[in-house]
Amino acid sequence: MPELPEMENYRRLLSQSILNVPITNVVVNREKSLNVTVEDFTSVLKGSKVIFVERRGKHLIFHLHNGGRLLLHLMLGGILYLGHRDEERPSRSTQVEITFGDQVLYFIGLRLGYLHFLTARETENALKELGPELLDRRMTKARFVELIGKRRGALKTTLVNQQVVAGIGNCYADEIAFDAQIHPLSKIQDLSEQSLEQLYESTVKVMHEATDGGGYMEMPFQEGDTLTGAYNDECKVYDREGEPCVRCATPIVKAEHTSRKVFFCPNCQHEV
């Protein structure tokens, strides 16, 4: 599932490509991906422009010039692709296609995800349960330590809880715990303040590196895109079961906790 780095990478790329370009055509192949009828969705989008693309956690918000919003959550398996009409059409089936000038933004894999047309207030209401942004300048070390330190339960479960902090999922929770040299199943209430401060440093480091590295999504965003997905090769533990730890060469272990896969080094990540 795309996490903060993947969605921030998409936001940056979209902001370079579609802003203020009139929408000339809309194709909906799966009405269940929408929250309104195809007719209403198409009529409100045709002729409008996206003036700003915002990210909130794992969501993208397309701000339209008429005041409306498109709220996107890719969920499991969702990806975006921008191509020049039919000559760069992706081979996979699409659920929604929006044409911006001579380019088409393809929404792929929206079987669980969605693209909803909302008012500004409806968008705010839809996202009101999300926790604070990790990379916001207001997320200081002191605030992070206070926020995480008052929780109880496993570290990984806490990090992926979108009501605690927004944007971290399975992959980066494991990568952050590895960087901090903390076992992902350690209990939050047992971590020292020093460990929590290190967790903050690792969170900021991993999120910035993963975002600047294009995230781990393997499909390019558009023709010639070599950035998107490049961070997949930089992951230290996620999906690396059996491979040697980059710190100590001990084989990476995969476990399961609350139906989630957990990857870690059993030697240099000690459970508190």
Residue 2 is a catalytic residue: yes
Closest by CA to 234, choosing from 80, 10, 5, is 5
Active-site residue among 30, 205, 260, 261?
260
Task: Decide if 10 contacts 60 (C-beta within 8 A).
Answer: yes
Active-site residue among 11, 55, 56, 58?
58
Q: Phi and psi (nearest 5°) for 182? A: -120, 135
Residue 3 is a catalytic residue: yes
| Residue whose pair of structure tokens reads 């008012």 in the numeric block | 119
Active-site residue among 3, 6, 8, 97?
3
* Burial (Cβ within 10 Å: 0-12, 13-18, ≥19) of residue 16: exposed
Active-site residue among 2, 8, 11, 69?
2
Q: Tell me which residues are annotated as active site.
A: 2-3, 58, 260
